Structure 1
């Protein structure tokens, strides 16, 4: 025993005296630390050098971090740092995590804007859309009962239209901060076009959407999205049966005359759209996309330079009914969202994406919205991560994903249209004689049998029908469980009123596959993301089942009261097992470098037992690798030392 202890001590001393390998350019090295909550993309063979691991991370889409033991990762948006267990004899002084000074995907958020702001600013618009959807479904049910097509509504008299809405118990128009606001034209549009996919325009063989592309390692999602949206607008305007437009993301990100970015930096969607509107956009053949150069390649290929033969205009949309109309008219638009770790593993066999309420925030992303489905309550989206991700590069985002997607406020939804240069101007004709100014439209008259613009159920129930009343015991009109649980809620087996069973998986109501499999689907027995998630039904592995993310029930597992760590085996941290290690946002947790009661050597050896190694400052990179910017690799440009020290809030 004494000899073995001496050998370990000598090994530790040798490790302590040996210099660590050079930190690869563009990375910061956090010695003897890791980042709980990081999403592991893949693991390379043990023994790979930092230079080899950096090269592998640089070539892997979305990778912005790697560990000394070979894990290629995506670090959380505001990383929490935790110490490795220095008492493990396999841990050397040069073990730790390397974080790149580059964007996760390429979207920069304006100062003061985060996912909570996105959610809050978009909530009213999303509530209105859900109200329209609920009202349309109830009117559609009435129409089916009478064998009337939705298209017939546009040709009905005001009296006949009012009868259909009245008998469906739906107001023709309402204004409500609680239940949502809409007009009958909003509901009729939803009835006429409940589903749209710009890849198969209105059920035809036309496709307004260009092929999927791959942004690779660079933070260029904004420009891939802007280009895809521009390609769709041109296809629509030119009446192309198949979208063959191919414009240059390289020029947009690296070469345009307004700003020139690097591979590792992101940008704002509104400014990208402004560049397209002001300068047009050249073709891919002139500036082919490459990730080989950090500053891009702005050499002209295949001269002469050619640009789209027309003019773009851009604008912002703050109404989701108008957003859907724009998709139908121009093929696509741009929107952003907060990316959580559970999004990376979305696939076509899964339900439309809804944040699971547990996974950590990884960063922000810009994508192209190409359709919607009111029946299934989701958006159809084109991504820029290649055809190997998602559903051949596309995905479905639930209306209730709770990630700030399609927030109808400010400049969060960006639209483009396009006019050809050769569009003939109207023939010149003599100027007409001035005509008298039109008479102002008559003010709506309550009681004339027509629910006119400006009238609602609140101002004129005679014409627009009675308003919904939350609390009257009947789920009618535009009421949903989320806006009126009293009327639309479902009593569960224990007698509690909930929304589980309303056919909508709502992340804002904390529904997930663990809490509501009826709406969200059955959880996989183990999602193998390295995090033990009891709320999703995961538990320690046995011979007949369980989940390896939670350890082995017969040896070490999450819930055994010990925050375990084995470099070459099962590891726990505040990000993977809060039961044993404490939560990363708690006042103290195992791995924070302080032995805080009730921690002891048995429950938290990394904080309470030493290990013969001098620990660095938590959240501070090695001096030789420190960066001047403080960039944490997530694309948000955070320079807040508190975030690096782990005191910033890590959502999820």
Structure 2
């Protein structure tokens, strides 16, 4: 009887010990999870504070620069930027409206944790002497986000080159040089003599955005057609020449499509255009002839 009671007692002690082990393990896991969550929260909070301070400092630098420009001349306006080893920001200065100028300053910061951007809009009263700040507001467009390629949203920090799945493919001809493009002048035309467009001297981009095209001097004309003897069309009149720097006067009596099979160079061509009684056209397209030499 005593052996039986001792067996039950030992069994209960084993069960209690097992329960204690499970409880201790559970508490340890929960504690670890809580500590991990706290660490992540602290890290995120630290990131927000650090990035926010950095962005705010950059924004203020641009605002100071804008105020300096406005102080020198209230007629100043346009888009500006500050990029140094310590400052990176852009800002816009509006034209005067009812005695006020609006300055919009934007800055951003990127780290391993994400991307932070903010914007401040300052209204400057330029009708006072000296000028004064009427209002200083953080734009509702300012935000922080954690962008991930493949989340279906083309957010700040992503573009067609870095995340095609969210932003779409880079497009040649949209006026924005992006991805593997060497250039992009906003069209898919090879700017050159003979394309039908009279171009000025400039640097252009080819139709595939893979190379630049340099036109060294202004074109005088460009009719898109190579009017010449041997093109199968009888022409008469003034036409743009082959180098687009002047005009040629043509007065063809005939024309042809292929080089003559008659033999020697300069001999008439049997595949003539505009010839009937005299079926051959010479290489200068002057007049039809019946002699093959």
TM-score (norm 2): 0.25
> Higher RCO, 1 or 2 (CA under 8 Å, sep at least 6)?
1
Structure number having the greater strand percentage: 2
TM-score w.r.t. length of structure 1: 0.13
